Structure 1
Amino acid sequence: MKTLKSILFLALLALPFKNLLAHALWIETPLNGKIGQSHQVNIYYGEYATQEKEIPNKWYSDVNQFSLWLIQPGKEKIRLEVKETQDGFTASFTPAVQGQYALSVVHEAKELGGTTKYEFSSYAIVNVGNVKAEADVPNPLKTVFKVQKLHQINQEVQFQVLLNNKAFAKGKVMVFSPQGWSKEYTADENGYITFIPVWKGFYVLEASNYEKTNGTHHGKTYDASWQGATSGIFVQ
């Protein structure tokens, strides 16, 4: 029995650290906002499929020191003040003009996972009134839609995976439903993925990218990098 336990322990150590660190950071906020009305934003870290939201002092490395940026229509982006809550962080902004607003987080964890560098990112879109132009989301890895809208149950949802603003062919995306269902999809040669939601509610999409690459990060050497990027859709 001791020999079996030792084998299992060694097998666990042999797994890439990225398989052990499955948590993600994501943003939840209503899709539509109104001019002059405060709009609330929530930021969480954990496992969306099981509604596990870790308290901020338990977040990996220094991820709880992220910056939340607001990209406003026709204006420079601004950093929003965030306040810690029991299960994450909250922030708010008040739209002043019509258009599409984007909320963005991109944070490289200070600590390495073994010899892997980790980047957590997320973005969310808020439509206010008549949207004439799409907001420019600066995140290096992201899932994008032709139109940000409320999606319908049992109807196809299509999005594109982009890496550094180019189609991420064969990119991997996990889709998490509010009922706990999840499935991994692989993008086609043009970075597109299609799926059909069968439950109503808020879905989280998590794109990931793992590469063998060398460098130093906060004085430590790494030989691989991992990016995890989330966004969400509303299904009615």
Structure 2
Amino acid sequence: MKTLKSILFLALLALPFKNLLAHALWIETPLNGKIGQVQQVNIFYGEYATQEKEAPAKWYSDVNQFSLWLIKPGKEKIKLQVKETENGFTTSFTPTVQGQYALSVVHEAKELGGTTKYEFSSYAIVNVGNIKAQADVPNLLKTVFKSHKVHQINQEVEFQVLLNNNAFAKGKVMIFSPEGWSKECIADENGYITFKPVWKGFYVLEASNYEKTNGTHHGKTYDASWQGATSGIFIH
């Protein structure tokens, strides 16, 4: 069974002169599940490219205090309790009906990056039996596929970028391949992007949105906000 990894890339201004510390928070769970069978879910933080998984005590700021939500078919939302492990967190759920389930993380880091507030979100999809409707993913910034099937190498993949449930015209998305290749794409006026994968394996799509805005966050003033959101797709 192929494993779906939903990666949340964490770009933080760790130093005052815009030096970036790139880390990732990601979810690992099988893409397909079965009624009555336990679905294992793991959450890691570290360097995805090298599979370096940090102990939760070393995670940035309060990232290890994230909340993981399960959205069941029918839109029932349940907060999953996670258990700390040596190199991350683990949890599970047992599907009870057919349909598409979604796992969702949306987390604002407590610490600012310079004077920028950061929001990180990611989701993973689990298909169980016959799919009559796509899962309701609450993340406000996301990339959405027409279907969560296994896509084929050298065949075009189309997805849409949404912001606040509307098409994100000219939205930016980074595509990361399992071979280390990456490319920045710009959505069209309707929020659509198409790409043709040339390697097999898991691809990560990271949408981002940067805005100049003012406010306070945990007692600190910020003058900009950044949203980053990832989803994944497996290429057969």
Is contact 2:178–2:201 with CA below 8 Å preserved after alignment?
yes
**Farther-moved stretch of structure 1 (46-55 vs 75-84):** 46-55
Q: Identity percentage over the alignment?
A: 86
Q: Give me the TM-score of the superposition, normalised by structure 1.
A: 0.89
Q: Which runs of 4+ in 1 moved over 6 A?
A: none
The answer to whether the 8 Å contact 2:75/2:135 transfers is no
Change (3 A) 1:190 1:52: farther
CA contact under 8 A between 1:48 and 1:176: conserved in structure 2?
no
Root-mean-square deviation (CA), in Å?
Answer: 1.6
Would the aligned equivalents of 1:49 and 1:182 in 2 still touch at CA under 8 Å?
Answer: no
Partner of 2:53: 53
Kept after mapping to 1: 8 A contact 2:75/2:136? no
* CA 88–232 in structure 1, closer or farther in 2 if over 3 Å, else same: same
1:178 aligned residue: 178
Amino acid at match of 2:224: A
The residue type paired with residue 83 of structure 2 is: K
Gap regions ≥5 residues in structure 1: 1-11
Higher mean alpha-carbon deviation, 166-175 vs 120-129, is at 166-175
Bigger radius of gyration, 1 or 2?
Answer: 1
Counterpart for residue 78 of structure 2: 78
Give the length in aligned residue pairs: 222
Question: Which has the higher mean CA deviation after the structures are superposed, 113-122 or 21-30?
Answer: 21-30
Aligned to 1:4: none
For 1:28-47, what aligned pairs fall within 5 Å after superposition?
28-47=28-47
Name the SS for the 1:210 alignment partner: strand
Code of the aligned partner of 1:55: A
- After superposition, the C-alpha distances for 1:3-48 in whole angstroms (9 at most, x for unaligned) are xxxxxxxxx8543xxx614323222211110000011112222343
**TM-score of the pair, normalised by structure 2:** 0.89
State whether structure 2 residue 83 is matched by structure 1 residue 94: no
Q: Which has the higher helix share?
A: 1
Distance in 1 between residues matched to 2:210 and 2:22, nearest whole Å: 13
Q: What is aligned with 2:206?
A: 206
Which structure has greater strand proportion? 2
Name the SS for the 2:64 alignment partner: helix
Shift of 1:90: 1.7
- 1:134 and 1:49 map into 2 onto residues whose CA distance is 30
Who is 1:5 aligned against?
none
